[in-house]
Amino acid sequence: MVVVGAGECGTRAAFELREAGWNGPITLVGAEHSRPYERPPLSKYVLTGSEGNVEPPALYEDGALRDAGIEYVAAATVTGVDREGHEAVLADGRRIPYERLLLATGASARRLPVAGIEAGGVHYLRSRADAIVLRDRLRPGARIGVIGAGFIGLEVAAAAAARGCAVTVIEAAPRPMSRAVPAAIATAVADRHRQAGVDLRCGLAMERLTRQDGALLLELGAPREAPGPAVQRLPHRRGWSGPAAEPHTYTVPRPSEALPLAFDTVVAGVGAVPETALAEKAGLAIDNGVRVDDRLITSDPDIFAAGDCCSFPHPLYGGRRIRLEAWRNAQDQGRAVARNMLGDGRPFAAVPWFWSDQFDLTLQIAGLPDAAAREVVRDRPDGVTIRFGLGDDGRLLYAAAVGTGNAVAKDISLAEILIARRAVPDPAPLTDPAVPLKTLLRQAPS
Amino acid sequence: MSTWIAACQTDDIDPEDVIPFQHEGVGYAIYRSPEDDFYATAGHCTHERMLLCDGLVMDNTIECPKHNGRFDYTTGRADGAPVLVDLPTYPVRVEDGTVFIGIG
Ligand SMILES: Cc1cc2nc3c(=O)[nH]c(=O)nc-3n(C[C@H](O)[C@H](O)[C@H](O)COP(=O)(O)OP(=O)(O)OC[C@H]3O[C@@H](n4cnc5c(N)ncnc54)[C@H](O)[C@@H]3O)c2cc1C
Ligand code: FES
């Protein structure tokens, strides 16, 4: 068994292969130099933590690789797959034979499609190495420009503000986290940023980036509503939730009246692109990521794909093909794909779940926020509002909420169970905060 | 030798739920199972040290509110990623409606 990519998904899969009873060799090949680590802290405490508290957690305990008999090949890139000969080919020419191969190649930060980008100095955040460089730039008083108000952009903005930087966020869409979260949640989060002094500007297009006297000058366009002469296709960001969206069309505004903004550092959080190069080269089907079926099998029955790099049909959403960029999904699919590589053959149907931390707020979403026909809300006495999305047939399709600390966790977890059970909850108790959500579970057969 | 500390009354906790308890600066989590048995574990998750008492209890499982790591609170056993390290557990005794936990 050979796993390509030692991120959340690939590493979990390698361990699960052993756990599930595979006795043969397991090789885990990863392009990064460090021991496999958790990515989410990179935009959180890795940026804000004091010295000595900046390492993202490792994905396994000391000695666990040895105990599980997993061979980890670090700092090695798989550049080819010989499907006939059943061999993975490494950049240095090494060949690793496989019976079954897993592509867990993840995603990489989307590059900014803006003129003048070659001026340099634009930071992206995907790896531990990126975070270490960026962390150093977030000095008190530094002028930080964040392009994109998706989850990573907003988490970076919150971290930079916490470090005492002067932070401006530029977003092309009319609101942050568009479509990835219900509008009311986006508003609450935007308010929190503004309250912390973040200059959050939505509906603005970037026009040009130049470098002058050590500063980066960003020229902006007028609000998106303004009629514009040209139509440009820009990838629409989905953060790490929900299906990655179709490219999004918007009008480029007339030449800007606004003065260019000057920054010491520009960070782009404009979405992620699935790492499909290897799969493409191997001739596998691609469809917004490596295309897999509901068992996470690619167009080659001996090659599987899972995590951020793959698109798959989701049985809870009518078989709709989605690609998720979410940590829990990477874990869940890692475990599921390992079992399927050993012939388990069960469809993958876990409820999508993700969270984001910004300042003292945590937002959590279970299910797909853009799947529902209508939304009903539960206003809790503690001020937290849980938003439920219901389908045409009344089925619960998502639940989303934002609150301080861990205030939303229990209700979102209960909703997740209801979603998995395809529950059609009666809206009255759902919206009545006096009725514990747990009582609804009893009415929803598992 | 354990020292027995009175932590709470039995009816302070709903069935299938958890409450926090502090003693000498150390946090604990006290559970009441659906069968009305009582258990105690360390108060913080072994992943990123979040308070477990904000998490969901289902049957014998506590789910961490932060990243959904799961533990069997009757044994402390971690259910796998993201929680890789088991949770310390403490003996519990119930006397006349008071829940005592044994520490030390
Ligand atoms: C800064 C940041 C913050 C995040 N925060 C959250 C959050 O709060 N909540 C949430 O739900 N999700 C979050 N995510 C998303 C989450 O981290 C990802 O969904 C998850 O890491 C996906 O795991 P993966 O294993 O599929 O891909 P990755 O983690 O991207 O791992 C893929 C690995 O494969 C390697 N690789 C790629 N191609 C090759 C090759 N050909 N040969 C060898 N190795 C290769 C890559 O170097 C990489 O190490 C965040 C992501 C980032 C970047
Ligand atoms: S802190 Fe408990 S799972 Fe992460």
Going from the Cα of B43 to the center of ligand 2, the distance in angstroms, rounded, reads: 12
Ligand sitting nearest the alpha carbon of A36: 1
Q: Same domain for A139 and A259?
A: yes
* A356: β partners: A363
Number of H helices, E strands in chain A: 11, 28
Q: Same domain for A88 and A127?
A: no
pTM of the predicted model as reported, rounded to 2 decimal places: 0.92
Residue range B21-47: mean pLDDT, rounded? 97
Judged against a pLDDT cut of 50, whether residue A235 lies above it is answered with no
Residue with tokens 């499982």: B61
**Exposed e or buried b for every residue in A102-121, given b needs 16+ CB within 10 A?**
bbbbbbbbbebebebbeeee
| Percentage of the residues of chain A whose pLDDT score is greater than 70 | 90
Number of Cβ within 10 Å of residue A233's Cβ equals 11
Residues shown for chain A: 446
* CB-based contact A430:A443 (threshold 8 Å): no
Residue A352, domain member (yes or no): no
Each residue of B75-96: pLDDT tens digit? 999 998 999 999 999 999 999 9
B19–chain A Cβ distance below 8 A for any pair: no
Question: Do B48 and A57 lie within an 8 Å CB cutoff?
Answer: yes
Judged against a pLDDT cut of 50, whether residue A195 lies above it is answered with yes
Q: Which helix (H) or strand (E) holds A230?
A: strand A230-234
Q: Same domain for A130 and A258?
A: yes
Give the end of a domain, one of A245, A268, A291: A268
Residues contacting residue A301 through CB under 8 Å, at least 6 positions apart: none
Question: Do A406 and B48 lie within an 8 Å CB cutoff?
Answer: no
Q: What is the CATH number of the domain that holds A432?
A: 3.30.390.30
Residues shown for chain B: 104
Going from the Cα of A58 to the center of ligand 2, the distance in angstroms, rounded, reads: 13
Smallest CA–CA distance from A354 into chain B, residue: B67
User: Which residue range(s) make up the domain with A302?
Assistant: 2-108+273-341
Q: Same domain for A79 and A181?
A: no
Judged against a pLDDT cut of 50, whether residue A412 lies above it is answered with yes
Ligand sitting nearest the alpha carbon of B42: 2
Going from the Cα of B66 to the center of ligand 2, the distance in angstroms, rounded, reads: 5
Q: Same domain for A24 and A101?
A: yes
How far apart are the C-alpha atoms of A50 and A33, rounded to whole Å?
24
Residue A404, domain member (yes or no): yes
Residue range A49-77: mean pLDDT, rounded? 91
Residue range A381-406: mean pLDDT, rounded? 95
Phi, psi of A42 (to 5 degrees): -60, -30
Judged against a pLDDT cut of 90, whether residue A318 lies above it is answered with yes
Residue range A89-117: mean pLDDT, rounded? 92
Nearest residue to B28 (alpha-carbon basis) of B77, B88, B95? B88
Q: Same domain for A14 and A82?
A: yes
Ligand sitting nearest the alpha carbon of A102: 1
Residue A150, domain member (yes or no): yes
Phi, psi of A346 (to 5 degrees): -95, 140
Residue B1 banded pLDDT, cuts 50, 70, 90:
low
Q: Same domain for A186 and A70?
A: no
- Which region among A111-120, A126-135, A245-254, A342-351 has the lowest average model confidence (pLDDT)? A245-254
Residue range A117-131: mean pLDDT, rounded? 86
* B20: β partners: B29
Residue A372 banded pLDDT, cuts 50, 70, 90:
confident
Judged against a pLDDT cut of 90, whether residue A115 lies above it is answered with no
* CB-based contact B3:B92 (threshold 8 Å): no
- Which region among A219-228, A309-318, B12-21 has the lowest average model confidence (pLDDT)? A219-228
- Which region among A196-200, A252-256, B67-71 has the lowest average model confidence (pLDDT)? A252-256
Question: Do B85 and A61 lie within an 8 Å CB cutoff?
Answer: yes
Tell me the DSSP string of A79-147. EEEETTTTEEEETTS-EEE-SSEEE---EEEPPP--BTGGG--EE--SSHHHHHHHHHH--TT-EEEEE
For residue A220, the SS3 value is strand
What average pLDDT does the structure give for chain A?
Answer: 90
Going from the Cα of A398 to the center of ligand 2, the distance in angstroms, rounded, reads: 22
- Give A277→chain B minimum CA distance, Å: 28
Chain A partners within 8 Å of B48 (Cβ): 57
Q: Same domain for A225 and A125?
A: yes
Cross-chain CB nearest to B68 (options A328, A362, A414): A328
Residue A354, domain member (yes or no): no
B84–chain A Cβ distance below 8 A for any pair: yes
Give the end of a domain, one of A268, A288, A314: A268
Judged against a pLDDT cut of 70, whether residue A335 lies above it is answered with yes
Q: And the tokens for A38? A: 């958790």
B20–chain A Cβ distance below 8 A for any pair: no
Judged against a pLDDT cut of 80, whether residue A191 lies above it is answered with yes
* A265: β partners: A144
Residue in B44, B71, B83 to alter for ligand 2 test, most ligand atoms within 8 A of Cβ: B83
Question: Do B65 and A61 lie within an 8 Å CB cutoff?
Answer: no
Judged against a pLDDT cut of 50, whether residue A401 lies above it is answered with yes
Domains in chain B with CATH codes: 3-103 (2.102.10.10)
**CB under 6 Å to ligand 2: residues?**
B 45, 47-48, 50, 64, 66-67, 69, 82-83
pLDDT (0 to 100) of residue A213: 83
Number of Cβ within 10 Å of residue A59's Cβ equals 24
Total domain count, chain A:
3
Q: Same domain for A136 and A228?
A: yes
Judged against a pLDDT cut of 50, whether residue B49 lies above it is answered with yes
Residue A253 banded pLDDT, cuts 50, 70, 90:
very low
Give the end of a domain, one of A268, A287, A319: A268
Q: And the tokens for A404? A: 């301080």
For residue A42, the SS3 value is helix
Nearest residue to A140 (alpha-carbon basis) of A164, A114, A108? A164
Residue A258 banded pLDDT, cuts 50, 70, 90:
low
Going from the Cα of A60 to the center of ligand 2, the distance in angstroms, rounded, reads: 14
Residue A350, domain member (yes or no): no
- Give A409→chain B minimum CA distance, Å: 5
* CB-based contact A245:A233 (threshold 8 Å): no
Residue range A119-141: mean pLDDT, rounded? 91
Question: Do A409 and B65 lie within an 8 Å CB cutoff?
Answer: yes
How far apart are the C-alpha atoms of A200 and A187, rounded to whole Å?
11
Cross-chain CB nearest to A410 (options B65, B66, B67): B65
Ligand sitting nearest the alpha carbon of A124: 1
Judged against a pLDDT cut of 50, whether residue A43 lies above it is answered with yes
Q: And the tokens for A65? A: 């690789």
Q: Same domain for A264 and A385?
A: no
Q: Same domain for A198 and A161?
A: yes
Residue A396, domain member (yes or no): yes
pLDDT (0 to 100) of residue A194: 96
B51–chain A Cβ distance below 8 A for any pair: yes
B86–chain A Cβ distance below 8 A for any pair: no
pLDDT (0 to 100) of residue A118: 67
**CB under 6 Å to ligand 1: residues?**
A 4-10, 29-32, 39-40, 42-43, 77-78, 104-107, 125-126, 152, 240, 275, 278, 307-309, 325-328, 330, 354-356
Residue in B18, B41, B44, B50 to alter for ligand 2 test, most ligand atoms within 8 A of Cβ: B50
Q: Same domain for A277 and A177?
A: no
* CB-based contact B37:B78 (threshold 8 Å): no
Protein residue with least CA distance to atom 1, ligand 2: B48
Q: And the tokens for A168? A: 């401006």
Residue A349, domain member (yes or no): no
